[in-house]
Structure 1
Amino acid sequence: MIPTEHLSKAVDELAPRDRPIMLHASLRSFGAPIAGGVDALLDAFLAGNRTVLVPTFTEPQFGVTPPAGLRPLRNGVDYAEFPEVPTVSEGTPYTTGCGLINPGLGVLPAAVISRTGAVRGTHPLNSFAALGPLAGQLISAQSPSDVYGPIRELAAHEGLIILIGVGLNRMTALHLAEQQAGRRLFLRWARNPDHRVSMVEVGSCSEGFPRLGAVLRPHVRTAVVGESRWQAFPARQTLAAAAAAIRADQDITRCADGDCRLCRDSIAGGPKMA
């Protein structure tokens, strides 16, 4: 059993008080149960007047087929996989109170949105949620056409990105670095509250992000809790270093799959309208 005191000690070593923290966590990485479970981990970060930011994506639940007139070129998808015209009306519009997240994100985002006081973004496919004193300020920066606004705010407040037992391929902030390096973000489709379909920004493939490890290593601080290795990155410096590396070598984020359409189109600059 992982004692809560071990969590608090690691948090205090890596995360200054009063700062916003973006978390990506695997509870399996601890190798043993945490006393108090995911709520104890969340409470350890919220202590000290910190704010916790997490991705709460819902692309599987609220994504829809692209209408024929909203299919940009070089957009990381094969439109042949979709019908030319949607044959049925798909789904209902996303709401911030839907209570849903992509199950692949793990239990921490679900714990955040279940808490009283949590604030969740309006992006229908790639929302973020936050809890703590700066939650409203971080999340208000997001819109369907500005998906990574909360991460920019995190950096502006000298916040941290902490990876708990996961690698750089789970660091969502690196998609913002891609954008800052000049790539256009991919576009996907969701229903507006009026049920019309519109395009919204999303990220690309992240499986090549570990190739940025050498560039980011000077900025990282680490801790170990149980069998879980924690890595803490200052958001502002990390984004600047990653964006500079991508501008210097666009191929640096290419994943191992030579046929990855997401990598190919992102490295080429991202979507363009016909």
Structure 2
Amino acid sequence: MHSAAVTARDIRAGLEQLGLTRTSAVIVHSSLSSFGHVDGGADAVVDALLATCGTLLFPGATSHATRLPAPPQVVRENNAIACAPDWASFDAALSKAAHFHQDLPVNRNLGLIPETVRRDRQHVRSSHPYFSYIATGAGADDLIAAQRLDWPLGPIEALWQRGGHVLQLGVSHATNTTIHLGEQQLGRGRFYRYAKPAPGVWMELPNIPGASHRFDTIEPHLRSSTRQVTIGACTASLTPVAEVLTVTRHLIEASPSALLCDDRTCQCFAEVQQRLRYIAGLDERSPAATTRYDEAAASRR
């Protein structure tokens, strides 16, 4: 016996049960297949989201198409990326990669729902060639404007300042990009990556997040501040951005390796080293490094 199809009305009712209203601002991480059969497919989910929430933010990353290896001999400490062996190899990769443009499809790993918004709904999209975002609704322009090439997680920071939430539709915290913002605020998960922003052009991009495959270990710590409902076969969860950032900070301050794996060949190992340098004041963004800079500046006056 087949389960009844999930409708846009069912999804809207579930979102309202979570407490979402036309004043709500959320970042959406989603899996269409998690609902079971949806009458109307991704369009129905998008319709329900647009009818329920005031501002929606979606990941729109295109790194699958635009990314490049590091150029030859461009080595940054604890950066966990291979360099092209020579410029001929790098130029070949540059030629093969897609350049970023507003109509470039969203990475399939992010699901069909954000791609449906990009393709079929009015939206604004940032122009970051590796880590773009898509937004709709009343606060869309403000969220997208918060992203810079050197601060790709700016839209989440702006969502935090608006009192926003993380909405997870059938996905785990492994997709929860807000955790990346929390770790970057503590000097961790800040990688340099390379992408093709225009034909024949390559660019170095700082502060690209790292691995997230162990982010699920945050779930017990967020349980008390997370609302959940079931929509069809989908578990829908809503957590305040502020709470995700607070818990992430507490966990990482207690342990530099929190939410990461212990495989020394994984990006996770480089992230731990970044955090240790930050604590020691060896990272220029760390409080200790800033203090030393201020003291040095004062001595020259």
TM-score, structure 1 as length reference: 0.90
Distance 1:101 1:4, change over 3 A: closer
64, 67, 73: which is aligned to 2:68? Answer: 64
Distance 1:153 1:259, change over 3 A: same
Distance 1:103 1:49, change over 3 A: closer
Partner of 1:245: 251
Q: More displaced, 182-191 or 56-65?
A: 182-191
Q: Could you list the runs of 5+ residues in structure 1 that have no partner in the other structure? A: none
Partner of 2:41: 37
Matched residue type, 1:219? S
Conserved? CA contact 1:219–1:238, under 8 Å: no
Q: More displaced, 12-21 or 223-232?
A: 12-21
Matched residue type, 1:71? V
Q: Tell me the distance in 2 between the aligned counterparts of 1:228 and 1:13.
A: 14
How does 1:90-109 map onto structure 2 within 5 Å?
Answer: 90=95, 91-95=97-101, 97-109=102-114
How does 1:1-274 map onto structure 2 within 5 Å?
Answer: 1-14=5-18, 15-31=20-36, 33-48=37-52, 50-68=54-72, 70-79=74-83, 82-85=84-87, 86-88=90-92, 89-90=94-95, 91-95=97-101, 97-183=102-188, 185-193=190-198, 195-200=200-205, 201-255=207-261, 258-269=263-274
Q: Which runs of 4+ in 1 moved over 3 A?
A: 192-196, 270-273
Conserved? CA contact 1:49–1:133, under 8 Å: no
Matched residue type, 2:67? G
Percent identity between the aligned chains? 26
Cα distance, 1:111 vs. partner?
A: 0.8
Cα distance, 1:243 vs. partner?
A: 1.8
Matched residue type, 1:241? V
Conserved? CA contact 1:187–1:202, under 8 Å: yes
Cα distance, 1:135 vs. partner?
A: 0.9
TM-score, structure 2 as length reference: 0.82
Conserved? CA contact 2:189–2:209, under 8 Å: no
Q: Could you list the runs of 5+ residues in structure 2 that have no partner in the other structure? A: 278-282, 285-301
Cα distance, 1:28 vs. partner?
A: 1.4
Cα distance, 1:49 vs. partner?
A: 5.2
Q: More displaced, 46-55 or 126-135?
A: 46-55
Q: Tell me the distance in 2 between the aligned counterparts of 1:73 and 1:48.
A: 45
Q: Tell me the distance in 1 between the aligned counterparts of 2:177 and 2:148.
A: 16
Conserved? CA contact 1:94–1:191, under 8 Å: yes
Cα distance, 1:98 vs. partner?
A: 2.6
Matched residue type, 1:101? V
Cα distance, 1:8 vs. partner?
A: 1.1
CA-to-aligned-CA distance 1:44-77 (integer Å, 9 cap, x gap): 1212451111111111211123223533121122
Q: Tell me the distance in 2 between the aligned counterparts of 1:135 and 1:251.
A: 34
| Greater per-residue helix proportion | 2
Conserved? CA contact 1:19–1:50, under 8 Å: yes
Q: Tell me the distance in 1 between the aligned counterparts of 2:218 and 2:185.
A: 15
Q: Tell me the distance in 2 between the aligned counterparts of 1:174 and 1:150.
A: 13
Q: Tell me the distance in 1 between the aligned counterparts of 2:185 and 2:52.
A: 31
Cα distance, 1:244 vs. partner?
A: 2.1
Distance 1:109 1:75, change over 3 A: same
Q: Tell me the distance in 2 between the aligned counterparts of 1:260 and 1:167.
A: 24
Q: Tell me the distance in 2 between the aligned counterparts of 1:63 and 1:125.
A: 7
CA-to-aligned-CA distance 1:95-130 (integer Å, 9 cap, x gap): 2x2332211111011111123421111110110101
